[in-house]
Structure 1
C-alpha cells in the first residue's frame, strides 16, 4: 500500500470507527479479543485499554517485555492528547505534517508517535478511552487494535 493510500485509509477509519457505548465490560471484551488474536499469532505484545484517569485492561503476552509497557504508556498518552490514532498521526507526519516530537513540543519521555494506540470513540460523546498494543511493527500493532474495535462496533449494532 502506498503512503498516500495508507494515510487515506487511516483518515477514513478515524471518521468512521465509533462505538454505540463503552463501559468496563466492553473494555474487558475488547482487551480479551485483542489478547486472543495475539495468542493465536504468538505475538509478543502488551495490550492496554485506559481512560485519562486509569487502566481498564492490561495484559502482557509471552515474549512481551517492560519496554512494551513503556511504549504502551507513551502511545496511549499521545492518542489521548491528540484524540487520533498514533498510526494516523505517524502517517500525517510522514506526509509532511509537523512532527510533534520536534524539540520544544512533546517530551519523548512521555509521548511516542508510533502506530498501535487507537482512541475509543463513542457516538455523540467523543473519545472515552484508548486501546493500545505494543510489540509488533507499527502498522501491525494498529491493525490488531483497529480490527478488534471494528468487530466490537459491529457486535454492538447487532
Structure 2
C-alpha cells in the first residue's frame, strides 16, 4: 500500500464519531463554517446523512451551483466506495480503473478529494458524508481533515501532504 493510502486509511480509522445524528451534523457544519471564516477560506460545505438527505449546507459568496454539483458527485463516490473520495481516487488510479469500467457515469461520480465518510466508532457502515468544494481537490480533503481533527479532538490523525 502506498504511503498516501496508509495516511488516508489512518485518517478514516481515527476520525470517527461516538454518535452522529442530524443535530451533530448541524453542529459540525457550523464548526466548519466558522473555521473557514477564521482562516479566510472560501469553501462550500455540505453534510449528508447516509440516506442522501442534506442536513447542513453552506455556499458562501465566491461559490455557486457548480460547487454543489461537485459535492453531489463526491457524495456518490463516498457512498459507493465507503471511503473518502480521495482514497477512492488513489485506489482506482493505482488499479488503472475509471468509473466507466464499472458501468458508472463520470457525470455522477468524482474521483478527487473533498468527500469524507462519517462513521460511528465500532461500526463499519458509514452513516453520512462530509463534503467540501472550491479549493484544489486535495485541499478540500485536508480542510475536512483539519476540521475533524479539531472537532473530534484527535490531533494524532495524520495530514495528507501535498503541493499545489
Secondary structure at 2:67 match in 1 = helix
Structure 2: any 5+ residue segments left out of the alignment?
Answer: 155-164
Task: Select 1:36's aligned residue among 34, 37, 40.
Answer: 34
Task: Select 1:11's aligned residue among 9, 12, 17.
Answer: 9
- Asked if the contact 2:31–2:151 (Cα under 8 Å) also holds between the matched residues in 1, the reply is no
Query: Per the alignment, do residues 42 and 99 of structure 1 end up closer, same or farther by CA in structure 2, a change over 3 Å counting?
Result: farther
2:114 matches 1:116: yes
Q: Which moved more, 1:56-65 or 1:30-39?
A: 30-39
- Give the structure-1-normalised TM-score: 0.86
Q: Deviations over 1:96-121 (max 9, x none)?
A: 22424234522112111110000000
Structure 1: any 5+ residue segments left out of the alignment?
Answer: none
Q: Distance in 2 between matches of 1:16 and 1:68?
A: 28
Q: Distance in 2 between matches of 1:32 and 1:141?
A: 17
- Asked if the contact 2:16–2:119 (Cα under 8 Å) also holds between the matched residues in 1, the reply is yes
Structural mapping, 1:58-137, within 5 Å: 58-94=57-93, 96-125=94-123, 126-137=125-136
Q: Which moved more, 1:48-57 or 1:67-76?
A: 48-57
Alignment-derived partner of residue 141 in structure 2: 142
Q: Distance in 1 between matches of 2:84 and 2:144?
A: 10
Alignment-derived partner of residue 26 in structure 1: 24
Q: Distance in 2 between matches of 1:78 and 1:145?
A: 16
What's the offset of the Cα at 1:137?
0.7
Q: Distance in 2 between matches of 1:104 and 1:93?
A: 11
What's the offset of the Cα at 1:53?
3.6
Note the aligned Cα RMSD (angstroms).
2.0
Question: Greater strand percent: which structure?
Answer: 1
Secondary structure at 1:102 match in 2 = helix
